[in-house]
Amino acid sequence: AQTVTQSQPEMSVQEAETVTLSCTYDTSESDYYLFWYKQPPSRQMILVIRQEAYKQQNATENRFSVNFQKAAKSFSLKISDSQLGDAAMYFCAYRITYGGATNKLIFGTGTLLAVQP
C-alpha cells in the first residue's frame, strides 16, 4: 500500500531564511503525482506545488521548490525567503491513479511550520 511519511512534526524558520520540509513515500507504481499542500489557520487547503513522477526536472513555484528523488522516494519542499504568511501546516500528498479512471490523495501527517519575525 502507498504511504506518505513526514518525519518533522514541527519546524521553525526565521523570516527571510530558507527552510526545507521532508517527505518520503512508498509505492510500487512508476507513474504518479506528488503534491505539497498548505493549510493555514483558516483550514483552507491550498495547493503549493505539484510534481509529476515522470518528469525529472524539479518543480518550482516562485519561492517554493521541490527536491524530487524518485529512486529514493523522497520529495522535499524548500521555502526560500520565508514570510510570516508561510506559517501553516504543510501536507505532502501522493496521488494514486486507478487505471486513469479515478484518483485518490494519500496525505502525510503534516509539518507545522512556524515563521519567527
- Residues in contact with another protein by the rule CB under 8 A: 42-47, 91, 97, 100-105, 107-110, 112
Q: Which one, 26 or 81, has the nearer CB to another protein?
A: 26
Residue 28 CB, nearest approach to another protein (Å):
19
Q: Which one, 71 or 101, has the nearer CB to another protein?
A: 101
Task: Report the candidate in 83, 103, 84, 82 with the shortest Cα–Cα distance to residue 93.
Answer: 103
93 near 109, Cβ under 8 Å?
A: no
How far is it, in rounded angstroms, from Cα 97 to Cα 101? 7
Q: Which one, 8 or 80, has the nearer CB to another protein?
A: 8
What does DSSP say about strands 64-69 and 46-52: parallel, antiparallel, or unpaired?
A: unpaired
